Amino acid sequence: MKIHEYQAKRLMAARGIAVPEGRVATTPEEAVAAVRPLVEASGSPVVVVKSQIHAGGRGKGRFKEHADLGGVTVVTDGIQGGVEAAEAKVRSLAEQMLGSTLVTIQTGPEGKAVNRLYVEQGVAIARELYLSVVLDRATGRNLMMASTEGGTEIEEVAAETPEKILRETIDPAVGLADFQARRLALGLGLEGDALKNGVRFMKALAAFASDLDTDLIEINPLVVTESGDVMALDGKMGFDDNALARHPDVAELRDETEENAAELEAKEFGLSFIKLDGSIGCLVNGAGLAMATMDTIKQVGGEPANFLDVGGGATTENVTAAFKIITRDPNVKGIFVNIFGGIMKCDTIADGVVAAVKEVGLQVPLVVRLEGTNVELGKKIIDESGLNVVSATDMKDGAQKIVEAAR
Partner 1 sequence: MSIMVGKDTRLLVQGLGSAGRFHTDKAIAYGTNVVAGVHPGKAGTTLRFEGATDHSGVPGRPDTYAVDVPMFETVRDAVAATNANASVVYVPPFGAADAILEAVEAGLELVVCITEGIPVQDMVVVKRAMQGSGSRLVGPNCPGVITPHECKIGIMPGYIHQGGRIGVVSRSGTLTYEAVKQLSDVGLGQTTAVGIGGDPVNGTNFVDVLEMFAKDDATEGVIMIGEIGGQLEVEAARWVKENGTKPVVGFIAGETAPKGRTMGHAGAIVSGEEESAQAKKRIMKECGIHVVDSPAEIGKTMAEALK
List the one residue out of 336, 331, 89, 132 whose CA is nearest residue 218. 132
Minimum CB distance to partner 1 smaller for 172 or for 386: 172
Q: How far apart are CA 351 and CA 346, in angstroms?
A: 9
Rule CB under 8 A: say whether 295 interacts with partner 1. Answer: yes
Rule CB under 8 A: say whether 301 interacts with partner 1. Answer: no
Q: How far is the CB of 394 from partner 1 (least distance, A)?
A: 5
Q: How far apart are CA 310 and CA 342, in angstroms?
A: 13
Q: How far is the CB of 99 from partner 1 (least distance, A)?
A: 27
Other C-beta atoms closer than 10 Å to the C-beta of 346 total 25
Minimum CB distance to partner 1 smaller for 131 or for 339: 339
Task: Just list the catalytic residues.
Answer: 130, 218
Q: How far is the CB of 93 from partner 1 (least distance, A)?
A: 30
224-263 positions binding partner 1, by CB under 8 A: 240, 242-243, 245-246
CB 76 within 8 A of CB 48: no
Rule CB under 8 A: say whether 137 interacts with partner 1. Answer: yes
Minimum CB distance to partner 1 smaller for 155 or for 163: 155
Which DSSP letter does residue 220 get? E
Provide the β-strand partners of residue 23. 119
Q: How far is the CB of 306 from partner 1 (least distance, A)?
A: 11
- Burial bucket for residue 127 (CB in 10 Å: 0-12, 13-18, 19+): middle
Q: How far is the CB of 223 from partner 1 (least distance, A)?
A: 26
CB 8 within 8 A of CB 237: yes
Rule CB under 8 A: say whether 307 interacts with partner 1. Answer: yes
- Residue selected from 138, 252, 363, 386 as contacting partner 1 according to rule CB under 8 A: 138
Q: How far apart are CA 202 and CA 41, in angstroms?
A: 26
Q: How far is the CB of 109 from partner 1 (least distance, A)?
A: 15
- Residue selected from 20, 22, 111, 286 as contacting partner 1 according to rule CB under 8 A: 286
Q: Pattern 192-211, binding to partner 1, x per CB under 8 A?
A: ------------------x-
Widest CA span in the chain: 81
3-state secondary structure 12-61: HHHCCCCCCCEEEECCHHHHHHHHHHHHHHHCCCCEEEEECCCCCCCCCC
Rule CB under 8 A: say whether 331 interacts with partner 1. Answer: no
Handedness of CA 83, 89, 95, 101 (dihedral sign): negative
- Residue selected from 152, 340, 364, 385 as contacting partner 1 according to rule CB under 8 A: 340
Q: How far apart are CA 268 and CA 318, in angstroms?
A: 9
- Residue selected from 149, 215, 229, 351 as contacting partner 1 according to rule CB under 8 A: 215
Core vs surface per residue 21-34: b (16+ CB within 10 A) or e: bbbbbeebebbbeb
Residues 6 or more apart whose CB falls under 8 angstroms from that of 125 comprise: 223, 224, 225, 226, 233
64-103 positions binding partner 1, by CB under 8 A: none
- Residue selected from 297, 305, 325, 349 as contacting partner 1 according to rule CB under 8 A: 297
Minimum CB distance to partner 1 smaller for 165 or for 291: 291
Rule CB under 8 A: say whether 299 interacts with partner 1. Answer: yes
Binding stretches for partner 1 (CB under 8 A): 135, 137-138, 140-142, 171-173, 210, 213, 215, 240, 242-243, 245-246, 272, 274, 276, 284-292, 294-299, 304, 307, 309, 312-313, 340-343, 371-373, 394-397
